[in-house]
Amino acid sequence: MEPLAIDPPLLTIRGGFLRSFEKNVAVIRAIGFNIELTIFRPSSTQYDEPLTLFFENIRGQEVEITSPDGKIENMLRSETDVLCDVTGLRTQKIFLSSSRASEEFDFLFIGDVHGMFHHFESVIESANQLDPLFIMANGDMTHSGRLEDFHAFADVANKATVPVFTSLGNHDKRAKGGRATYRDLLAPFYYSFSVNHSTFIVLDSSRKRGLQKFQYKWLERELQVARQKGDRIFVFLHRPPVCPKYNYLAFSASANAHRFLALMERYRVEIVFGSHIHVFTEFEKRGIRYVVTGGGGGALWQPQNVHHYLHVFVKRDGVDIRMVQLPTPEAKVSQRIKDVLKFNWDHHIGRNKHIQQMLLLWTALNLGQSAVERRERRWRRRQRF
């Protein structure tokens, strides 16, 4: 007799995404502190085995798990994971929510690790001692966006005893399939999460021009919801919209940058955190505080800069930001300048089509010139004999 075909349950998730679902075990990665999971079993009579759920990247010891219409059994908790079995009705909801109520908290923030994972490891080590609410890695975690780079990053991130959130950087999508790998392993391209009366909005500004129309639409809706709730709003994105000192590295479309600045102003965002530029700088635009921090590992933009990450303290009456220096190799000014030139050559100048064409032309002219000179020399030699 042919075995009966069994349809697996359907899952819809808010506040996380499905990393894998095999043999009745679903692995769900949190992208915030609250998850709402809906399970729909196509046929409860044929499919009555318990479903095993593994939630990762969540504060496992603190999170509350409830299921109004189902049964949760065999629960195991670690600092950042929760494992449990669920059985129940045909349609079932499960809620995971953060039980931290304090309005004051802290988090660690690092930008532009660029594959220098020993720097990221230092951040993880201090997080495991200090127990901030979360760690944010704001893009360019990898230098080339290859699968093995993402796995190396994830291996380090998995050592953390607090959740690690990420945004997509331009380098993370350099390799073919980099975007998809990022989405499959770490996070959606843009998302938001709320905790302790604060909303964090994470954007995808990996594109040179700035955000796309559909992302602006989503962003405005998120800002409206956060404002209605009376939350404090923080925005994280890799490429900043503007940067007074290094504006050529910010959004390349100025209309796009203006649109972004106007939204931040209209919804009174508390701080916009950007990275991408390998420095630490702070400025104000239209009354909004902007922080740019890209010192996590990529070549430093100016000889006097240092590798660093931020320790951010969200307090009732403001936000304190402390820069924590990471080991920065002693380098002569000339070496730092060489590093910056090499970095610029590799990622900006060398990839510019017009400059490439000019260089090709210059090389061709030089080659042509030396060929003419060689011919002339040969001719003169023959004249002498």
Q: Say if strands 164-167 and 134-138 run parallel, antiparallel, or are unpaired.
A: parallel
Residues in the chain: 385
Min dist CB 275 to Fe ion, Å, is: 7
Smaller CB separation from Fe ion, 25 or 337: 337
φ and ψ of 277, to 5 deg:
-95, 125
Smaller CB separation from Fe ion, 9 or 274: 274
Smaller CB separation from Fe ion, 162 or 250: 250
Q: Nearest to residue 288, comparing CAs of 275, 274, 273, 270?
A: 270
Min dist CB 332 to Fe ion, Å, is: 23
SS3 assignment, position 43: coil
Smaller CB separation from Fe ion, 16 or 297: 297
Whole-angstrom distance, CA of residue 293 vs CA of residue 281? 7
Quote the radius of gyration of the chain (alpha carbons, Å). 26
Smaller CB separation from Fe ion, 112 or 339: 112
Min dist CB 92 to Fe ion, Å, is: 43
Cα–Cα distance list, 294 to 115, 123, 313, 320 (Å): 13, 14, 19, 18
Q: Nearest to residue 79, comparing CAs of 163, 17, 137, 16?
A: 163
Smaller CB separation from Fe ion, 112 or 222: 112
Min dist CB 292 to Fe ion, Å, is: 11
Smaller CB separation from Fe ion, 32 or 297: 297
Min dist CB 284 to Fe ion, Å, is: 23
Residues in contact with 303: Cβ distance below 8 Å, sequence separation at least 6, in sequence order: 331, 333, 336, 337
Token pair listed for 192 = 């938001």
Q: How many other CB atoms sit within 10 Å of the CB of residue 132?
A: 21
Min dist CB 175 to Fe ion, Å, is: 15
* DSSP letter for each residue of 275-310: -SSSSEEEEEETTEEEEEE--SSSPPSSTT---EEE
Min dist CB 364 to Fe ion, Å, is: 33
The H-assigned helical ranges of 32-173 are 117-130, 147-157
Smaller CB separation from Fe ion, 140 or 339: 140
Min dist CB 83 to Fe ion, Å, is: 36
Whole-angstrom distance, CA of residue 275 vs CA of residue 271? 13
Interface contacts to Fe ion, rule CB under 5 A: 112, 140, 298
Cβ proximity of 30 and 56 under 8 Å = yes
